[in-house]
Structure 1
């Protein structure tokens, strides 16, 4: 390039999560990102949800299984000095296009600061949108697991289901069922029922905040009988979750410390301090049990923990068998 050649502007890729689909739930930054883009790339359904923002833009529609094509399209347009927006409902970093786009870019030799800027615009996830519609089921610890075995081996999914259920997480199931994948939700139900009571509350939410929104409150025992598809997210409560007056609620844990909601701490508890069975209190309890003659394996069984956790309290690391 000589001094008289025009300098091509640096391109940019914006990975835009625009929320559940309703315009009022799209962030200001998501709207601005789409507005500044020269090219908008996305699954046909996503394009349709933001069609009012696409006048004058090159729009590239891709199918459900063409995720890598979307990444490569964004890369090519950015290399030409354009601003390419890859759009997705929910949060584009949660089961979305952010991960594969970064993988494609890194494989192509791109690095942060190399000229083409990449920005991720977060959005409200399907998980949080569905939770908002049914009450407050995510107020305590939760996890999300995709039942899609298109890219993840089923034994990996089974391990995750077992671990989450055993640990008493509220569980959100993404991609629970499709026209060809009908058995995965049945298997998930079977695994969860090994750890959860049949009456455990379940919310089945389809197309949250979209025209065909549908909400079903059911139980773990009857979950698989609900109308479930690819546009559905399934929220499965933990051992404390309850349904009252049509609201699915998971307590935050105040009952472990306070008598009612008047702020009076229970005996042995202090406001603003760890629970009596917080880390230090639990370690002291373990030492006291050991001093009383209980075996590490017995204590581990009582707390439903691996024996290695008890060994760690007494500074006696257990050698692998």
Structure 2
């Protein structure tokens, strides 16, 4: 049997946001590999083995998947959102580069998914409608000094911004410092969107101005979107519309 490795994105949470491509790959898989809560989203069935592991063993998980694929298994490595956005695709290719030569000959494909960033933006309109950047605020894999540098430069360049992993119980001070940097650099009342658990039953969406944003408004399930100076808010009954115009006046 010829093995394969598919790296798939499960989207932001709702089953109907999983792409047909990903659903087909999961239906044909012999093994699914991933972080515990993501693997828990996969329904057990005859002929499928589920391999779940902790969030800090990405390279071990990737090597395990590659080894199974090299033995003829049809393996799907799952991530939430899109596998190429702060997720498992990079870990798999890092393992391939450092691993045995036969891994490079494997049939490996990446199937995109709807990111939390895009799902959160869609909930309020089009806050990422012009130039934007995405920054992971976790310092598990990079130093805080680098995060701070990128925050300042992005704010000075007036990008709209999307923040992944803004605040955890282990490092609550990071997001507080990020908000300080944004207030120091931007100095305006641009909108900030706190979108938690988008597309799930736990979803909440809150829009505040930058000076009103507080660290305790976010946790690890929250996507934080910060507008640029051009981002507009349209008040209405219910959640306001937020959008960033496609053109910029100089």
Common topology (TM > 0.5): yes
How many Å separate the matches in 2 of 1:173 and 1:167?
A: 16
Asked if residue 247 in structure 1 is aligned to residue 241 in structure 2, the reply is yes
1:49 to 26, 37, 41: 41
1:92 to 73, 80, 83: 83
How many Å separate the matches in 2 of 1:36 and 1:49?
A: 16
Alignment-derived partner of residue 227 in structure 1: 217
Higher relative contact order (CA 8 A, sep 6+): 2
Alignment-derived partner of residue 128 in structure 1: 118
**Which has a greater percent of strand?**
2
Asked if residue 62 in structure 1 is aligned to residue 62 in structure 2, the reply is no
User: Displaced runs of 4+ in structure 1, greater than 6 A?
Assistant: none
Q: Which has the larger radius of gyration?
A: 1
How many Å separate the matches in 1 of 2:115 and 2:154?
A: 20
How many Å separate the matches in 2 of 1:24 and 1:208?
A: 13
Instruction: After superposition, give the CA deviation of every residue in 1:160-183 in whole Å (9 maximum; x if it has no partner).
Output: 001100000001111100011101
How many Å separate the matches in 1 of 2:213 and 2:61?
A: 35
CA RMSD, aligned part only? 1.6
TM-score normalized by structure 2?
A: 0.93
C-alpha contact (below 8 Å) 1:62/1:69 kept by paired residues: no
- List gaps (5 residues or longer) in structure 2: none
Taking a change above 3 Å as real, the CA distance of residues 234 and 100 of structure 1, as seen in their structure-2 partners, is same
Tell me the CA shift for residue 113 of structure 1. 6.0
TM-score normalized by structure 1?
A: 0.73
Asked if residue 178 in structure 1 is aligned to residue 149 in structure 2, the reply is no
Tell me the CA shift for residue 62 of structure 1. 0.7
Moved more, 125-134 or 220-229: 220-229
- List gaps (5 residues or longer) in structure 1: 1-8, 257-276, 278-321
How many Å separate the matches in 1 of 2:8 and 2:119?
A: 17
Instruction: After superposition, give the CA deviation of every residue in 1:122-150 in whole Å (9 maximum; x if it has no partner).
Output: 00111101000111101000001111011
